[in-house]
Amino acid sequence: MKSIIKKAITTLLLFASATIHAEDFLIKNATVHTASSRGVLSNTDIYVSDGFIMQVAKNIKLKSKHTVIDANGKHVTPGLINASTQLGLVEIGAASSTVDYSTKNEQQGASFNIAPAINFRSTLMPQNRINGLTRAIVRPAGGTSIFHGQGAAIALLSNEQGLIREQLAQYASYGIAGANISGGSRASAYFILDKALEEANYLRHNRSQYKPGFDWHFSQSLQDLDALKAVLEKKIPLVISVHRSDDILQMIKLAKKHSVRLILAGASEAWLVANEIARAKIPVIMDPILNLPDSFESLANRLDAATILNEAGVKLVFTGIDWQSTHNGYLVRQSAGNAVAYGMPVEDAIKAMTTNTAEVFGIKNYGQIAVGMEADIVVWDGDPLELTTNADTVLIKGINQPMVSRATRLRDRYWDLKDIPNKAFIR
């Protein structure tokens, strides 16, 4: 009983700590990848107070109470963000009772807002954050509609404070996935996307006519068309998964016609039409490690695609790694590292998993090591792109995160394989 009470109190304190004022920190002597126009700063200090970055300079002297984090010989980056995850929407992929990222409800396409389903106490949150991922874009997956619904931005905190913004973007698919859900042809998929946007536009100007009890005839449910209003008003972007180069051009045309803010996702063959994408100022979400011609719409996939797009001036935001981008969302840095190995400048690759993502999705005060930013900071024990590097310290909104996950608990239990019967009593 006593231990239960003790546990309850610690749990309360743990969650309380997230809402009370964060500690002050002084990170000393770091190599700072600012992800800003200041580039990389050597032997630099970062002062964090009240959850924000207050100062970034050499030899900061403080009079107020603070905790020093010695980062001599270490690297600092903004906490990483993965631009395409299902964090909080899945615990175990093959356990359907733990999966909330898609719906079979036919009334819910564009109106499917995943935010209420996010489980901030998921074991995936600590496993990702102790490895340097502090934020994520959480997206729905395809259900019965070509529109998948609305994503959210989160901080990887184990409580509801983690929700930064819901209804952040609308998701849809084109190409093979879009065709499959539309009857088997891209032409049908294009028709459905086009018609839905047209109807949503009509509806937003004539909404007062459509009251409960009225008989209406639209291609989508009324709530789905309502949900597209934010896309048409350019309040949120429309993220379309699309790969083939000519499919990409079709989507650019569609976005232009309906005047929506398009983001291309996946975009295996985007590099073939890099100039067109750059000219239309359309950002691309991609996983640079993907280079397989794994379908007939991804034939031109290649490891230097990110470099080609970057050089053409396309704004890149990274996800990865491969199909493990949720459970191992932190491995976006491995994908980014491969982009660098194939020609992308290091600091551009870091921007593609920090400030670019913040900018593209409209997340304020995050993504750079700069004064006024929320203190999402990772201290790495080496080059942040090297896989032999690990995170030493992770701050999220200025809160120092315990470097513990369910996986580290299992590791510690079995680190020494002696005295097995007593493992059950190791807490």
Partner 1 sequence: MAITKSFYGRSLSVLVVICGLTACTPETEDKKETETKVRPFPSTYKPIASESFVIEHATVLTGTGRQLEDASVFVENGKIKVVGNNIYVPANTKRYDGNGKWVTPGIIDVHTHLGVYPSPGIESTQDGNEMTAPVTAEVWAEHSVWTQDPGMQLALAGGVTTFQVLPGSGNLIGGRGVTLKNVYARSVQAMKFPDAPHSLKMACGENPKRFYGSKGRAPSTRMGNVAGYRSAWIKAKAYRKEWDEYYESVGSKKEKDKPKRNLQLDTLAEVLRGNILVHNHCYRAEEMLIMIDIAKEFDYKISAFHHAIEAYKVADVLAKENICAAVWADWWGFKHEAFDHVRENAAMIENAKACAIIHSDSAIGIQHLNQEAAKAMAAGNKNGLSLEPKTAIAWITSNAAKAIGVSDKTGSLEENKMADMVIWSHNPFSIYAKAEKVFIDGALMYDRDDQNKQPVSDFDLGIIDPQGERL
Interaction of residue 410 with partner 1, rule CB under 8 A: yes
| Least distance to partner 1, CB of residue 94, Å | 4
Q: Residue 177 burial (CB < 10 Å; 0-12/13-18/19+)?
A: buried
Token couple for 343: 């020609």
Interaction of residue 91 with partner 1, rule CB under 8 A: yes
228 and 110 Cβ atoms separated by less than 8 Å:
yes
Candidate segments 88-96, 181-189, 352-360, 365-373, binder of partner 1 by CB under 8 A: 88-96
Residues 6+ apart with CB under 8 A from 206: none
Site for partner 1, residues 97 to 136, rule: CB under 8 A: 124
Site for partner 1, residues 303 to 322, rule: CB under 8 A: 322
Interaction of residue 233 with partner 1, rule CB under 8 A: no
Candidate segments 52-60, 90-98, 207-215, 216-224, binder of partner 1 by CB under 8 A: 90-98
Token couple for 101: 């990222």
| Least distance to partner 1, CB of residue 250, Å | 18
- Distance, CA of 245 to CA of 301 (rounded, Å): 11
| Least distance to partner 1, CB of residue 295, Å | 5
Residue 233 or residue 294: which is nearer to partner 1 going by CB? 294
Candidate segments 197-205, 220-228, 297-305, 365-373, binder of partner 1 by CB under 8 A: 297-305
Site for partner 1, residues 5 to 64, rule: CB under 8 A: none
Q: Of 228, 236, 223, give the one whose Cα is nearest residue 105.
A: 223
Interaction of residue 390 with partner 1, rule CB under 8 A: yes
Sign of the CA dihedral 109, 113, 118, 124? Answer: positive
| Least distance to partner 1, CB of residue 412, Å | 8
140 and 112 Cβ atoms separated by less than 8 Å:
yes
Q: Of 272, 361, 352, give the one whose Cα is nearest residue 315.
A: 352
Q: Of 52, 50, 49, give the one whose Cα is nearest residue 78.
A: 52
Q: Which of 69, 169, 228, 290 binds partner 1 (CB under 8 A)?
A: 290
Site for partner 1, residues 322 to 351, rule: CB under 8 A: 322, 324, 326-328, 331, 334, 337-338, 340-341
250 and 190 Cβ atoms separated by less than 8 Å:
yes
Instruction: Give buried/exposed letters for 344-378 (b at 16+ CB in 10 A, else e).
Output: bebebbbbbbbbbbbbbbebebbbbbbeebbbbbb
Q: Of 151, 152, 144, give the one whose Cα is nearest residue 108.
A: 144
| Least distance to partner 1, CB of residue 360, Å | 25
Interaction of residue 393 with partner 1, rule CB under 8 A: no
Candidate segments 68-76, 110-118, 258-266, 381-389, binder of partner 1 by CB under 8 A: 381-389
List residues near partner 1 by CB under 8 A: 90-95, 124, 289-296, 298-300, 302, 322, 324, 326-328, 331, 334, 337-338, 340-341, 381, 385-390, 407-408, 410-411, 414-415, 417
